[in-house]
Amino acid sequence: MRKEVKPGGNNNLRSISLLEGLDKTTIKRLEEISGWYWYPEGELIFDRTDSGSEVYLIVEGSVRIVGHAKSGQEVAFVDLHAGQYFGELSAIDGEARSATLYTLEDSVVAMVPADAFMEFLDANSDVSLRLMRFLVSTVRTLNLRVVGLSSTTVIQRVMSELLQMAEPDPSNPSEWIINHMPNHREVALWVGTTPETVAEAIGQLFKEKVAKRQYKKLHILDRQRMLEMISAS
């Protein structure tokens, strides 16, 4: 259950990306009109049926935004961390929440009432412009995701998600690696599928000798071949 906390000390808004470049007095004013709350790990902040319109600024911790398919399947949209924010859509249009949010770890947030947030945007054009650019970027990203969903199979989407998690292996330039391979349920959450489908996709990668598992690491041995498998019709 959330607990009310007080601003001050480490509980301040100076690290919030949206407020970058603002003077201390302006930030202090926003801190004073905000509600400050601590949430434990795994706590629901709001769900898609919530009618609230406050904007949340993440001071400490991280949260996950999830949606739901018609089947009821939970689909992860994005993880947000300290310095980021959420809830701005409902503050702008007054509509109900469009997704569900819960904490990934113990978190502290500053909650700004919608009317105060809109007045703040009116008084600070640089912040308004930064928010507009963020929203445009979000729309573009979602457009790409929709195209990907409509043009690939579920197996291919799992492979694509794994490839996005991978980084170049510093010990072997010809390979890519996922150092901390999440469990099948976690991968399924991002793709909007089942753990069994994730297991099937990884099994195909092993069968084609495109990837191998070593303890908690997934080694991608042939990235180009994996890209071909993802784009195959």
d(Cα 18, Cα 15) in Å, to the nearest integer?
Answer: 9
Residue 181: the pLDDT is: 94
Whether 13 and 59 have beta carbons less than 8 Å apart is answered as yes
Question: Would you say the C-alpha torsion 162, 168, 172, 173 has a positive or negative sign?
Answer: positive
- Nearest CA to 210 out of 188, 199, 225 is that of 225
Output the pLDDT for position 27. 94
**Residue 182, CB-side half-sphere exposure with 13 Å CA sphere:** 17
Residues 149 and 45: their CA atoms lie apart, in Å, by: 28
pLDDT per residue as tens, the chain (233 positions) = 899 998 888 889 999 999 999 999 999 999 999 999 999 999 999 998 888 999 999 999 999 999 877 666 778 889 999 999 999 999 999 998 989 999 999 999 999 999 999 999 999 999 999 999 999 998 887 776 666 666 689 999 999 999 999 999 998 888 999 999 999 999 999 888 899 999 999 999 999 999 999 888 999 999 999 999 988 86
- Residue 78 · residue 93 · CB < 8 Å: no
Query: What is residue 30's predicted lDDT score, i.e. its pLDDT?
Result: 95
pLDDT of residue 107: 97
